[in-house]
Amino acid sequence: MRCLLCVLIIVPFFGLAQHRCATDVLTQRQSEHNLDYAEGLDEMKQLATRFESGTKTIGSRDSKKIIIPVVVHVIYREESDNISMDQIHSQIDLLNRDFNWLQSDKNKIPETWRDLGSASGFEFRLAEKDPDGNFTNGVTRKQTDIENIANVDNVGSDIKYYKAANGGTNPWYQAHYLNIWVCEIGNRVLGYTYLPSANNVEPNDGIVIEARAFGTNGTAIAPYDGGRTLVHEMGHYFGLRHLWGGEEGTCTNTDYMSDTPWQREANFKCSSFPAISCPAERDGDMFMNFMDYADDTCSLFFTKNQIEYMQLVVRTVKVTLIHSDGVTGITESQDGQISVFPNPSDGVFTIYANSTNNGVFRIINAQGQIISNGRFYQGVASLDLMGNPKGIYYLRSEQVAKPLVLHY
């Protein structure tokens, strides 16, 4: 009788996971309420369009290591949901395996697409240093009595998983750490994040994962105990869209990746090849791609274009993560100083000032004309000079002028 009860409780939650990921709906909602975010999202669409049409900004695929410092915020009600370090490590290991073409189940990818798999060079590491410079194991823990604290319907309410004063845990400085909250979500949602914007980093920047779909042991429950919910959300965090684009029901909504087929809608569970939803696609849907909704055992890989695009995003709007001292050791700019990366660049520059700097700057060309204005957010700004003639430009802020070199 006891076991029967378990089945009755678990099956409705995990057996009908129609809302596996809430990234689309929340990204849409955030862009309706936040003009800055929406404008930055549009800029990212332009970047993705250029990427899709083959005008890539940053060389070709790059296997150099991209080390991302990660902090996991565990928020739990029952002590049994205060997940173990072992469970957290199982998730980080899985992430590194899947992002580097080391998955043991890649033989399940249909042969026609297997060559599209590749290593990304991303390496996720639990932070070793916290924002105050103290040693850390990269995990924070907090007990709460709020049920489903990260419920999608809580957006706009007083309950906020990302605010300590509202029941949650404050993020670590998001320019330097990738924040992951592991907690209850409810409504059969397993995870979500927000698509990256070229503008400000929002207070909720980061990824949320339901504790029952995190890692490969402990509280993880089949069929979502393969750690692939986070792999999927990580794809979104670095700019990837669902294979059906933003909207289901058409075969014309792009995911901006020219090596994934057109797809009408999500595939659940484990489909059989070929699963054709758009008649023009002879091989059908790439349902085993991480950016579909298959069960963990059938969710298997990213394509080369998806990997290149994530590399592009991490080297542009998320570049501060790879210059973080959370695991690797770089020092911030001193007061009044500004540093630029990369410089020279073939289009997109990231500019660092003191982390308290929220001021404005101008970009001036060699003829002294203002060609662009920008603003720092907590000392970081992204600047796109693509389309301008190559040469030297000057960044002017309150105290300093800094030359930028644009080359192609």
Give the active site residues.
Answer: 233
In 200-339, which residue ranges form alpha helices assigned H by DSSP? Answer: 228-237, 304-314
Q: How far apart, in Å, do the first and last CA atoms of the chain sit?
A: 70
Q: The tokens 């930028």 sit on which residue?
A: 404
Measured in residues, the chain has a length of: 408
- CB 292 to Zn ion: min, Å: 9
Question: Tokens for 163?
Answer: 């605010």
Decide whether 291 or 321 has the Cβ nearer to Zn ion. Answer: 291
Please report the DSSP string for 19-50 in residue order. Answer: TSB-HHHHHHHHHHH-HHHHHHHHHHHHHHHH
Residue 240's nearest CA partner among 24, 19, 17, 20 is 24
- Amino acid (one-letter) located at 210: E
- CB 380 to Zn ion: min, Å: 26
Which residues form the interface with Zn ion (CB under 5 A)? 21, 23
Burial class of residue 155 in the structure, from the number of CB atoms within 10 Å of its CB (0-12 exposed, 13-18 middle, 19+ buried): middle
Decide whether 23 or 345 has the Cβ nearer to Zn ion. Answer: 23
- CB 172 to Zn ion: min, Å: 24
Decide whether 27 or 378 has the Cβ nearer to Zn ion. Answer: 27
User: Which of 252-259's residues contact partners 24+ apart within 8 Å by CB, and which partners?
Assistant: 254/52, 255/291, 256/48, 256/49, 256/51, 256/52, 256/309, 257/52, 257/303, 257/305, 257/306, 257/309, 258/52, 258/54, 258/305, 259/116, 259/303, 259/304, 259/305, 259/306
Question: Tokens for 147?
Answer: 């049920």
Question: Tokens for 393?
Answer: 């430009």
Q: The tokens 């995003």 sit on which residue?
A: 313
Decide whether 23 or 148 has the Cβ nearer to Zn ion. Answer: 23
- CB 236 to Zn ion: min, Å: 5
Decide whether 21 or 383 has the Cβ nearer to Zn ion. Answer: 21
In 65-189, which residue ranges form alpha helices assigned H by DSSP? Answer: 85-98, 111-114
Decide whether 310 or 340 has the Cβ nearer to Zn ion. Answer: 310
Do 224 and 296 contact (CB within 8 A), yes or no?
yes
- CB 74 to Zn ion: min, Å: 22
Decide whether 299 or 345 has the Cβ nearer to Zn ion. Answer: 299
- CB 137 to Zn ion: min, Å: 29
Query: Residue 383 forms beta bridges with which residues?
Result: 349
Rounded Cα distance between 113 and 349, Å, is 34
Q: What is the DSSP letter of 205?
A: -
- CB 208 to Zn ion: min, Å: 12
- Residue with CB nearest Zn ion? 21
